[in-house]
Structure 1
Amino acid sequence: MLSRLDLRSGVNATTLANSLPRAALNIDTALEAVRPLVEDVRERGVDALLDQAERFDVIRPDSIRVPQEAIDRALSDIDADLRDAIALSIEHVRAGHEAQMPKEKSVDIIPGGTVTQRWIPMRRVGLYVPGGLAVYPSSVVMNAVTAQVAGVPSIALTSPAQERFGGLPHPTILAACALLGIDEVYAAGGAGAIGMFAYGAGECEPVDVVTGPGNIYVAAAKRLVLGTVGIDSEAGTTEIAILADETANPRYVAADLLSQAEHDPAAASVLVTDSVELADAVDRELEDLVASTKHVERVRTALSGPQSGTVLVANIEDGLEVINAYGAEHLEIHTRDDEEVASRVTSAGAIFLGSYTPVPAGDYLAGSNHVLPTGGTARYSSGLNVHVFLKSVQQVKYTREALEEITDPLVTFANAEDLPAHGTALEVRRG
């Protein structure tokens, strides 16, 4: 089922850059597609959002802002077991992210001269929750809890209007908002929703940072508005890579590859292994599991696409080179000494170790975040964490005596750069 790339003769940077399984996506084309949508929202505000909902979501909402009674009703109507599961996710994710919070720290550079490292939460953030082929209350949790732990005072959330719910976002999304105390919710999706957060529209004031996953058009819109607002990462269509040796359980590996393939026909599932026997066994297990899964056509399309496949390597060392070049959103490691192998991974959105830590645990209840960089951007960016919602500010204070101590060397420095007024700013303070 999975195509194969045989790199057992060796790997090199050029081979890896040009041959690894990747989706055939053109971000430039996507940028041109979303640019008029974002600009339309910038110019016409709510009217543009309503027009786009009618065009793409096949319904024109009564209003972009979701009324509070709809949020309250969604919470009262939600299945009790699902409510408990969402509440447990909130508890676990909050604990996992509280551990990320940095502490204010001061250092005395010289006696009387102090630099304090402060962390200031963003004033206002916009959270995007997709609404395409599946329903994602988990994305509400991942985005909102992280912002709340960081101390953000103003949080807005948007999710596409749904035809079968009268132009409101899915009620499970709204129920998750209610459990988290998020009451500023909008029925807007796609690139236009990113434009709403960046430039404001109707009741929605502009935000400082936009976070959340989405398809390539949402990712392109985030790139387009970067600079006007901050973004977390270009979290596009999901992907999983699994690094495995002969000790891996082929049924577990197959089930985990399938778990991400069911997200989207463009989802990527990649196995990297030094065991042909394991690769063969995984293919057999996939045939069995895919035949009985619910979204069989979606899964088959994803697993047979150019973005998915098995990469055969000579050894785990070469496998690590492949993994680090690929920069997977989700990376599972099914090898002996998995922690030692993981310590040498340099590019991954999140790493899942061993036979009993599948990616779906991180999607919901493990306490980690599932909003992660895709498309190889994990080589230089991180998954959603509290730092996305914090600004690092250095606060400096020097006494008169401390300033006197650095005046002469500073004047020397300033004169060397032909900026004598810099030195004067210190000299005028000499008694």
Structure 2
Amino acid sequence: MTSPGSIRRIRRIDLRRSALTGGPVDYRRAVPRAEFDVEAAVDIVKPITDAVRERGVEAILEFNARFDGVEQTEIRVPVEVLHRALEKLAPEIRAALEESIARLRATCQAELETDAVTELGPGARVTHRKVPVGRVGLYVPGGLAPLVSSVVMNVVPAQVAGVESIALASPPQKEFGGLPHPSILAACALLGVEEVYAVGGAQAIAMFAYGVEASATTEGCERVDLVTGPGNIYVVTAKRVLKGQVGIDSEAGPTEIAILADDTADAAYVAADLISQAEHDPLAAAVLVTSSERLADEVEAELDKQVSVTKHAERIGISLSGSQSGIVLVDDVEQGIDVVNAYAAEHLEIHTQNPDVAASRIRNAGAIFVGPHAPVSLGDYCAGSNHVLPTGGCACHSSGLSVRAFTKSVHVVDYSREGLAAVRDHVVTLAEAEDLPGHGAAVSVRFSEPSPVESGETTP
């Protein structure tokens, strides 16, 4: 694969059993992955978050000037600016956003959980109640691309979950007078989000986590309970530094796509889908896992042809030729399933003879795209799924953003005297086994003599 600057070709990794020696191979280590050293960025990010905690808006304005090259007197975007951006939004973009919103809202509403009530005996009831988080801060990147779709992906599940207070931050853009990108502002207005801040990077996450007081020139921002949304390494590091102070969705790093394919796959489709994710970032990972050497050759030829005519050819070429990307050869789809399960990709496409069968055996992926007509870019915009997904192998234990991320569970324990009596002895026994007699006494005291409630006595 060649692109401007004669970037070298995408590399190959042979995991076919005939090529392996020395015993079992750890597929998770063998498959390429983007380097994303959050710990290395802590020393840079910690002073930023500390400064925001100590000096509030003053520190935010200084960091926005230093990192984004904008001079501001206020950080909150006026509501009339949001509505003006929506008025100026191209009709076709508005129509596309409305369709994306409608589809995502439908799947989010289907995810809503009702209270689960368990009757454990007479007078013994436990209710598992789902309640929305009170206030959330949503982060939308604005670096290499204005991710207007990320506004939709963050806001819609929060709204469906019933979150009452939603704030959103996106980096100020010098070319737009220190405001976030107009399409991001328009999407906020379309969704009814009116608390928007022109703040980016680690300082935005710190603003949400600590809250900042108003100054003489700008409104402040109340602290939030939860921060969600993707970002660069400094945003992710700020989430890690502050997650004891505020809830976070995940530490999402550079985007990644894995494609599991056999010799029935269309090489042009596969190449286009690898390119679509490489377009995000030079650190983006694009991995093809295939049992067909012929397909691997054809995909390389397609990459040569397609990358040369794309707008972001240089960025894409760096991504595809980087250490995080590659074509992985396997013996068969069976081995390929083992490889992609170990890799636990953010996005996984299945291009095999029976893609639904293969997809049913995938347990580790942020989202699974089945068959030749479900590219990842569909999920980025209009599939009805969410594109804020776990990266870096975290799909083996974490899920993508959903309504559930914006709710929490509360157990409501409702026992009568009769219900407590049924387990009284068990509670006392377990309390004594743990050498916590006070726990047992808190139950026993309720049966030593009739309580005022049980005897009908009341306090005057």
TM-score for both structures, normalised by structure 1: 0.98
Deviation at 1:320, TM superposition (A): 1.4
Deviation at 1:13, TM superposition (A): 6.6
Deviation at 1:18, TM superposition (A): 3.0
Contact 2:278–2:320 under 8 Å retained in 1: yes
Are 2:283 and 1:283 equivalent residues in the alignment? no
Which shifted more, 9-18 or 43-52?
A: 9-18
Query: How far apart in 2 are the matches of 1:355 and 1:311?
Result: 19
Tell me which residue corresponds to 1:4.
12
Query: How far apart in 2 are the matches of 1:167 and 1:115?
Result: 52
Query: How far apart in 2 are the matches of 1:29 and 1:280?
Result: 38
Tell me which residue corresponds to 1:304.
321
Contact 1:100–1:386 under 8 Å retained in 2: yes
Contact 1:129–1:159 under 8 Å retained in 2: yes
Tell me which residue corresponds to 1:354.
371
Contact 1:332–1:358 under 8 Å retained in 2: yes
Tell me which residue corresponds to 2:265.
248
Aligned partner of 1:344: which letter?
A: R
Query: How far apart in 1 are the matches of 2:180 and 2:287?
Result: 33
Are 2:98 and 1:81 equivalent residues in the alignment? no
Deviation at 1:14, TM superposition (A): 4.8
Pairs aligned (count)? 431
Provide Cα deviations, 1:300-357, integer angstroms capped at 9, x if missing partner.
Answer: 1111000111111111121112111111111101112212211221211111000000
Query: How far apart in 2 are the matches of 1:26 and 1:116?
Result: 42
Q: For the aligned residues, what is the CA RMSD?
A: 1.3
Contact 1:62–1:167 under 8 Å retained in 2: no
Are 2:165 and 1:154 equivalent residues in the alignment? yes
Query: How far apart in 1 are the matches of 2:327 and 2:27?
Result: 14
Aligned partner of 2:290: which letter?
A: T
Tell me which residue corresponds to 1:62.
73
Matches within 5 A, 1:31-430: 31-202=42-213, 203-430=220-447
Change in Cα spacing, 1:335 to 1:66, as seen in structure 2 (3 Å) is same
Tell me which residue corresponds to 1:28.
39
Provide Cα deviations, 1:106-145, integer angstroms capped at 9, x if missing partner.
Answer: 0111121001010010010000000001111100000000
Identify unmatched segments of 5+ residues in structure 1. Answer: none
TM-score for both structures, normalised by structure 2: 0.92
Q: Which structure would you say has the larger Rg?
A: 2
Contact 1:61–1:187 under 8 Å retained in 2: no
Aligned partner of 1:6: which letter?
A: D
Contact 2:34–2:254 under 8 Å retained in 1: no
Deviation at 1:402, TM superposition (A): 1.2
Corresponding residue SS for 1:118: strand
Provide Cα deviations, 1:242-280, integer angstroms capped at 9, x if missing partner.
Answer: 011111111100000000011111111000011101111
Provide Cα deviations, 1:138-168, integer angstroms capped at 9, x if missing partner.
Answer: 0000000010011000000000000011000
Corresponding residue SS for 1:109: strand
Contact 1:136–1:173 under 8 Å retained in 2: yes
Query: How far apart in 2 are the matches of 1:321 and 1:216?
Result: 29
Aligned partner of 1:256: which letter?
A: D
Query: How far apart in 2 are the matches of 1:193 and 1:179?
Result: 22
Once superposed, which parts of structure 1, at least 4 consecutive aligned residues long, lie more than 6 Å away?
Answer: 10-13
Change in Cα spacing, 1:371 to 1:13, as seen in structure 2 (3 Å) is farther
Aligned partner of 1:309: which letter?
A: G
Deviation at 1:61, TM superposition (A): 2.3
Corresponding residue SS for 1:348: coil
Aligned partner of 2:207: which letter?
A: M
Aligned partner of 2:199: which letter?
A: A
Corresponding residue SS for 1:292: coil
The percent identity for this pair of structures is: 57
Aligned partner of 1:32: which letter?
A: D
Contact 1:242–1:271 under 8 Å retained in 2: yes
